[in-house]
Chains A and B, each alone.
Chain A
Amino acid sequence: MHGERSRRTLGMCGRLGLGEHTRVDAMSDLLGGVRSLVTAPSGAMRADAGAVRWREPSGPDQRLGVSWSPCPLPDTPPASASEAARAHDAFSLVVEGDTARLQAGISGAVPVYVDMNDVDGADGLHFCTRIEPLVRTGAPIAQPDWNAWAHILAAGGPLGGRTTFAGIRRLQPWSRVSVQPGAPPTVTDGQWPWLDITAQPGAGVDAVSAALAAVVTELKSRTDVTTLLSGGWDSRILTVLAARSEPRRSAAGFVIGASPRAAEVPTAWTTSSDTGTVMEELVAAQVAEELGIQHEIVPPVRDQFGADLKQFARSVDHQTSFHIWLVPLARALMGTSRTVLDGLGGGLFVGGAFPDAGDGRPLLDQRFDRLTRYLLGAEEILHPRVVAEIRDRTRAGFEDVAGPLVDHPFGSTFTAYLTRTLPGISLAPYGLMATAAPVATPFLDDDVVRAALAIPAAEHADGRLYPQVLRAFSETLADLPTAFDLTPRRRVHQRRVASPEAAQVFRDLLTRDPVRELLAPELAAAGLATWQAYLDLTRPQHLIRGLATLALWLEQYDDVLGGAGIEPLLGKA
């Protein structure tokens, strides 16, 4: 096996099965021009910086594979697509004679979309890391997926692999799609290995610390890194590991001095999370000072709110409105060759976030209410018919995903992961930030997740594992309070999202037809002060952000939607 590495970070697209290359070329152009790595009769792939091509010459049918990741892969990738998925969370296309298959990464956090509208066509299945190239090169008229939009509004992201367009599906963790001549494509979504991880007697945090250190050390051996640093635990742990000097070892394992990369002191980057406090920035500054690393605070610009909103919506393919506040950092990091370390998944797999409330109600109800808490009192923002409609549609989608997890020992963790982290939060690093720079999420490494889930669920409660994990690397930072610990109940800073400028942007977007029909009539007629007041509260703010995302999506795709109306969200057929 041999590998080769490309250099740019734009994404990936391709075709699975026999067909012409025309559409793949067109998608590549829309991505910004990614290079050809495989052009075979039964499959094609164009990809950027993170791709490695490999070939197994054994056997009568040479197996040709390409693995891709948003951060550069090692020159010598693992021996198979499943190993690439497990060891590097990489996506792979494997072409073997006249058959071909896709393998998704083990975490599923890196979005890869497949146009399943092609299933009956003669031109293979097309896939891409962005939705827009699939839509722009597909059928002239695209159909909205209103279930997905209900999920976006009620929960923050489309559930179960849906996207904003009917028939375009996001690959789920560890899923595989196979195509062979004369047979329909086969999609395998089950058998996700993480669901089979069981608690181990005596498992402790040392294994979590060691796994995190190993994955960051391995990353640093092949790419320079930089970190996003908030006032919380996940980014603190990653920053400590990024800043560590790595001992260099001889072939025999002896420590022979500092690695050459030890001189590469990373910069940590912080922006305001726009929650009415600057404690995130302050605690991040304390962490950076303790580590002796460069720290950059990139404050949001009030006047750029509208531009940030549009940039975010487009970079996440209009599927979520979580973490719009991250846009200033994506701007600041645009074009860096360093891999950005993001703490995605740490809160769930290590921190025990989103536990069950334990209030005696059925677990599925507790978890659904947690996910859709934005709907509590939503009639002040949305038309009452919309509230009922999106609740019903979201409940149906939620049960498909969360139903099988009810009795799982980490049921609340995996439910939150599959219904919130993947559909919504993951698009902040792998939609937004990945447009600026290579991205890696060490907390979603297979070894890290296995080590964390080997510890019984109850021991994860209230984030109590975090200081123990960090103590292996820094006693001082293990004892430093987080921003969450320190933030006063009353938050006095003006939130940009609730500023007059932002309220104006939202009101202009939401009071246009057809989105205006979805609004509560009183809000549609309200003055700017009322909009600001609602935007200062998380739940109504979430609903308003979601509607704004819908408005921007309708505008962006007006030419391919064929006049599709929003009536389904009002419960009208």
Chain B
Amino acid sequence: MARRHVVLDQAWWSGVDEPGGGGRSVGRRASSPAADVFVGRAAYMLVPGRSMGGPARLSGRVVDVFVHCERQGVTTVVLAGEAADLDTPAAAVSRYVATDQQAVAAAAAVRFGAERVHLAATIDVAQARALVAELPFPGRVVVPAGRRLRGFGGRTARRVDRIVPIRALYGKIRGRDARSRGAGREASGLPS
């Protein structure tokens, strides 16, 4: 079965396909209906690098769709046609990198870690289906519903203050995947 994906193409994020265009969000909300419709049930969002006409900045619909993917667990993959594509804000917030250049892959591995980089036969978005099929990265993860939104539908307990016996979290830690249950469940960036 083909892996569902969407390509963050310029026509969408610049808004030229919309009557009125502009690409800016209307107000600032916890969710973006436009991003929701655009991403749909895709497991991967491919983000062309700047050299391929991708976004140079995180603004308007670009940031909205990244927020949507982050909340929905959609896997984001930046397509780096050249090393400079690794310097963009979109690369900084993408989960993985795909490139068809050996040198770019090497530079990306130094910066992001080898397990986050894939050297592909091609990153031409016209062949996105084939690219997505060969990606070694996991697709969309199911994000539990009911996340707190203080001031946006009810206040819930602050997770950082909850003390859970550590053995309950990692009692079976040895041999398990670091990304499995319990991984990263506590916030390091506590308020001062």
Contacts and interface: CB of A to CB of B under 8 A. Distances in A.
Interface of A: 230, 232, 234, 272-283, 285-286, 289-290, 295, 297, 299, 301-303, 325, 343-348, 351, 353-355, 357, 369-370, 373, 376-378, 380, 420-421, 425-426, 462-463, 467, 476-477, 479-481, 484-501, 526, 529-530, 532-534, 536-541
Nearest to B170: A537
Interface residues of B, number: 63
Contacts of B192: 343-348, 353, 420-421, 425-426
B113 A539 contact: no
A285 B58 contact: yes
Contacts of A290: 28
A539 B71 contact: no
Interface stretch (B11-19, B118-126, B155-163): B155-163
Given A344-B192, A476-B27, A537-B185, A501 B152 contact: no
Given A492-B75, A533-B178, 13 more contacts: A280-B189, A303-B110, A343-B192, A344-B192, A346-B191, A354-B161, A370-B161, A376-B163, A462-B150, A481-B149, A490-B143, A536-B183, A541-B188
B136 interface: no
B110 A529 contact: no
B28 A476 contact: yes
A281 B189 contact: no
Interface in B86-126: 89, 91-93, 95, 109-113, 115-116
A209 B123 CA distance: 50
A299 B163 contact: no
B166 A540 contact: yes
B24 to A, nearest CB: 9
Contacts of A347: 191-192
Contacts of A279: 67, 70
Contacts of B113: 302, 494, 496, 499-501
A533 B166 contact: no
Q: Which 8 A-B pairs have the closest CB atoms?
A: A377-B166, A347-B191, A538-B186, A276-B184, A285-B58, A273-B189, A425-B192, A278-B93
Contacts of B187: 275, 484, 538
B191 A493 contact: no
17 contacts: A272-B92, A273-B189, A282-B63, A289-B58, A299-B111, A302-B111, A343-B192, A376-B165, A463-B150, A485-B148, A487-B70, A488-B143, A497-B188, A533-B183, A534-B170, A536-B183, A540-B166
Contacts of A484: 150, 187
A463 B169 CA distance: 28
Contacts of B92: 272, 278, 281, 297, 299
A462 B58 CA distance: 29
B28 A479 contact: yes
B150 to A, nearest CB: 6
B67 A540 contact: no
A525 to B, nearest CB: 11
B151 interface: yes
Contacts of A343: 192
Contact of A462 (B71, B158, B190): B158
A485 B94 CA distance: 20
A539 B170 CA distance: 11
B33 interface: no
Question: Which of B67, B142, B150, B184 has the largest number of chain A CB atoms within 10 A?
Answer: B184
Contacts of B170: 377, 380, 533-534, 537, 540
Contacts of B141: 490, 492
A537 B166 contact: yes
A385 B28 CA distance: 52
B28 A297 contact: no
A376 B164 CA distance: 8
A357 B30 CA distance: 29
B176 A533 contact: yes
Nearest to B28: A480
Given A275-B184, A275-B189, A299-B92, A488 B70 contact: yes
A282 B161 CA distance: 24
A353 B188 CA distance: 14
B63 A492 contact: no
B14 to A, nearest CB: 15
Contacts of A487: 70, 147
Nearest to A495: B184
A529 B150 CA distance: 36
B71 A488 contact: yes
Contact of A532 (B30, B178, B189): B178
A357 B161 contact: yes
Contact of A534 (B111, B173, B185, B186): B173
Contacts of B58: 281-282, 285, 289, 295, 297
Contacts of A426: 192
B155 A462 contact: yes
Given A282-B58, A532-B178, A538 B188 contact: yes
Contact of A530 (B89, B111, B174): B174
Contacts of B91: 299
B144 interface: yes
A536 B178 contact: yes
Contact of B73 (A282, A369, A488): A488
Nearest to A490: B143
A537 B28 contact: no
B21 interface: no
Interface string B124-155: 00000000000000000111100111111001
A351 B191 contact: yes
A463 B161 CA distance: 14
A109 to B, nearest CB: 10
B185 A302 contact: no
Interface string B42-58: 00000000000000001
B19 to A, nearest CB: 23
Contacts of A278: 66, 70, 92-93
A278 B30 CA distance: 15
A481 B28 CA distance: 8
A530 B149 CA distance: 34
